[in-house]
Amino acid sequence: MTFWQENYGFVKDVYDFRLQKYQEWMDKLEAIVGKVMAPNVQYTYKEFKVIKDSLSSLTRDLEREGMKAWLDMMLEKVAVRVGEEAGLSAKDKEFKMAEKKKLETLIDRHDKLLPSTIDAQQKVEIYARCYAFGDEISPVLKTLQEQHHLAVKEIHPHNMKMLDEQIEKSEKVITTVQAQQDNFEELRKRGAKLVQTPNVAPFLQELLEKLEKSWQDANEHSQSRLQMLKTSSCDWETYDELRTAIIEPLEKLEGEYKKYRKFYDPVQGLEKLSRRKEIFETHKKSSDEMMAKIKMCYTTIMILAGDEKKEFLDKEVNDVEDKRNIVTKCEDTLNSLFDYNTKLTNAVNHCHDLSNWAKPTQETLDKLCTDENITPEDRTKEILNLQEVGQEKVPQLEPLDLEYRTLLLDEDMEKSETAKKTMQEWKDVMEFTKKVCETIEHEAASISTDQRLYADYLCSVKDFKPWMEDAEKEAKKEIPKPDDLEAAMKVLEEFKVFNEECGSRREKLDAANKARETMEKQSTVENECGPLGARWDDVKKVSVTRIEKAQALVDTWTDLTSTSEELATKTAEVHKQESPDLEALEVIYNNLKDLVNKKKELMTALFPGK
């Protein structure tokens, strides 16, 4: 028996042991490569060094050529031994094929592990540097994250002492963050350089971004927190100061309110009330500004103070609002006093208007009754005019008297000589106005209907004659020739105004004629309305003719202007057209010539000799 046959059992055990170790080696290698290349795992440098050393140990003989050759050789020996002892039965053949397949499977697995293992060998050194760098970043990152947490955690300081404590803490946070600046800058520069290295660990970029964000957040939020606390501190101080300061203008308004009263002289009242109003507006503006600032400070304070302090702060603000009720009281009272003064002013002015009418009217009446140079007709007409105005004044007396009694009560006159004087002035004016109106009515009652009608006729004719003479001169007047369309339109407008005046004058002349004809006893004096009417007809005819000719001139001139513009536009476009419509141009041109000739004719007819 050969050595292999004698020791077959031992050889088979060695072969199986080596096969198992080969498989265990690949299991370890696959596991360690997986750890090196793990995508979502970050180790400390110490942890990764163990992994690195394990990889280095397992890959000293990565190819394992000797192991594979020995296993292949021993597989043949084991297979031959089985064949020599029992012959190549079907079972032996299956055994050989199974063992060979097992070995091939392991070798195939080995071959497949080689690329990932080589890739891990190439990256393990740079990964180790990255993990070492990560260990350096960790304490800085931790500090920044801790300070950021302190800068954003919820706080509710509700008094100045607590605010000062929080400001001190916030300043310490900022100091701690700033103390990390040099480390941060150095790590950022080194990281930016390391991240450009080939085969760099995937986590490094994310770690650098996290460091950058943590630095920015810690900086910004700590500064923001400190600023908010300082603002709140200032607002607390301002809030307390203004709650005290606002008392002064409000107390002054209290004092002013006690001085408010009616004034029974409207002129003096307006002056004094205006001064009170100015003082009120000054104190109101001051208190409004303070209150607006108090509310603004309250809003800022409440952001930090929280709901626990809200009820107390609301009560403080409401107390100030209650004190500010004096502003509304002063404003309402002043408005009421101004309203009273306006009504009294209107009443007094109305009284003066009546007085200013009654006194000269009485003088006119005296003159009409005593002056022998005034004709009966003029006297009649003047008295009737006064009667017409007087009948408008009488209905004003009773409502005005009621207004005075409403404004100036008995109690007002008991305590104020000015009120008594104002009321007495009105009574005097009212009595005098009544007397004047009664005198007018008495004089008017002595005038008969024929006297009235003849006075209307005669006064109207007297008024018509001078206008008639001026109108005849206007009808014969030479009209200046217009140089352009605008001047022509102005001439037309003047003609229309004159024509309207003619119409209104004719109505008055017809009314005078009707008054003359309505008289029961006709006057032997010639009726002048007929001759004046004939003269008016001549002037009216000239006026109508002028308007017709001027209107035709304006219309023609307008058409001429628009036609000229149309011809100029179309002529300017001729050179741009391949086949210009010359016939259309000729039509426009002929139309333009006709308009020019018509304009000349109208100018000659309207302005002869020019």
pLDDT in tens, 157-203: 666 677 777 777 877 877 887 878 788 778 778 777 777 777 767 77
Q: From residue 500, how far is each of 57, 85, 266, 513, 541 by CA, in Å?
A: 125, 152, 46, 20, 13
* Residue 458, in any domain of the structure: no
Q: Which of residues 223, 241, 259 is at a domain's end?
A: 241
- Rounded Cα distance between 52 and 32, Å, is 8
Decide if 317 is inside a domain.
Answer: yes
Residue 108 in domain: yes
Rounded to two decimals, the pTM is: 0.49
What is the 3-class SS of 257-315, one letter each residue? Answer: HHHCCCCCCHHHHHHHHHHHHHHHHHHHHHHHHHHHHHHHHHHHHHHHHCHHHHHHHHH
Per-residue pLDDT, averaged over 452-477, amounts to 75
Calpha distance 39→51 (Å, rounded) = 15
Yes or no: say if 194 and 129 are a contact pair by the CB < 8 Å rule.
Answer: yes
Structure tokens, 376:
């009966």
Give the pLDDT mean for 8-34. 67
* Burial degree of 142 (CB within 10 A; 0-12, 13-18, 19+): exposed
Same domain, 279 and 174: no
Q: Is 548 inside a domain boundary?
A: yes
CB 532 within 8 A of CB 465: yes
| CA separation for the pair 327, 222 (Å, rounded) | 43
| pLDDT of 342 | 92
Q: Rank 182-191, 213-222, 332-341, 522-531 by mean pLDDT and report only the highest.
A: 332-341
Domain match, 167 and 257 both: no
Q: Is 250 in the same domain as 237?
A: no
More confident residue, 4 or 313: 313
Radius of gyration of the chain (CA): 60
Residue 574 scores a pLDDT above 70 = no
**Contacts with 120 (C-beta within 8 Å, 6 or more apart), sequence order:** 32, 33, 36, 37, 55
Q: Is residue 86 part of a domain?
A: yes
Most confident of 69-83, 484-498, 505-519: 484-498
pLDDT at 416: 87
pLDDT, mean over the chain:
75
Counted domains in the chain: 3
- CATH code at position 162: 1.20.58
Angle between helices 45-58 and 8-36 (to 10 degrees): 140
DSSP string, 202-229: THHHHHHHHHHHHHHHHHHHHHHHHHHH
Model pLDDT for residues 411-444, shown as the tens digit of each residue: 888 888 888 999 999 999 999 999 988 887 777 6
- Helices (runs of H) and strands (runs of E) counted in the chain: 19, 0
Is the CB of residue 429 less than 8 Å from the CB of residue 362?
no
Confidence of residue 86 (pLDDT cuts 50, 70, 90): very low
Model pLDDT, residue 399: 92
Decide which of 77 and 503 is more confident. 503
pLDDT score recorded for residue 1: 41
Are residues 40 and 127 located together in one domain of the fold?
yes
252: left (phi over 0), alpha (psi -120 to 50) or beta: alpha
Which residue range(s) make up the domain with 221? 1-241
**Does one domain contain both 215 and 259?**
no
235's enclosing H/E stretch is helix 203-245
Residue ranges of alpha helices (H) inside 306-448 are 307-323, 325-370, 376-407, 410-415, 417-445
Query: Are 544 and 574 a contacting pair, CB within 8 Å?
Result: no
Q: What are phi and psi of 303, to 5 degrees?
A: -60, -40
pLDDT at 82: 46
Task: Indicate if the pLDDT at residue 349 is higher than 90.
Answer: yes
Mean pLDDT of 134-156: 76
Nearest partner of 383 among 356, 362, 359, judged by Cα: 362
227 and 205 both lie in a single domain:
yes
- Whether residues 180 and 275 fall in one domain: no
Whole-number Å distance between alpha carbons of 193 and 88: 67
Q: Which residue has the tokens 């986590």?
A: 203
Query: Is there a single domain that holds both residue 479 and residue 361?
Result: no
Greatest mean pLDDT range, 16-25, 34-43, 77-86: 16-25
Query: Is residue 279 in a domain?
Result: yes
Distance of alpha carbon 25 from alpha carbon 261, whole angstroms: 111
pLDDT for 311: 79
> Cα(296)–Cα(293) distance, rounded to whole angstroms?
5
Q: What is the pLDDT of residue 85?
A: 47
Least confident among 16-20, 178-182, 377-381, 604-608: 604-608
pLDDT tens string 364-391: 888 877 777 777 667 777 777 777 788 8
CA–CA distance, 402 with 283 (Å, rounded to integer)? 38
Query: Of the candidates 206, 241, 276, which is a domain's last residue?
Result: 241
Residues 413 and 441 reside in one and the same domain: yes
Same domain? For 213 and 140 the reply is yes
394 assigned to some structural domain: yes
Sign of the C-alpha dihedral computed for residues 554, 557, 559 and 565 taken in this order = negative
Q: Tell me the one-letter amino acid at 581.
A: D
> What one-character-per-residue DSSP string does 15-37 give?
HHHHHHHHHHHHHHHHHHHHHHT
d(CA 502, CA 219): 92
Residue 333 and residue 230 in one domain: no
For residue 431, the model assigns a pLDDT of 93
123 part of a folded domain = yes
Q: Percent of the chain scored above 90 by pLDDT?
A: 11
User: How many other C-beta atoms can be found within 10 angstroms of the C-beta atom of residue 305?
Assistant: 21
The domain boundary residue, chosen from 198, 220, 241:
241
Whether 114 and 18 share a structural domain: yes
- Residue 383 CB neighbour total at 10 angstroms: 24
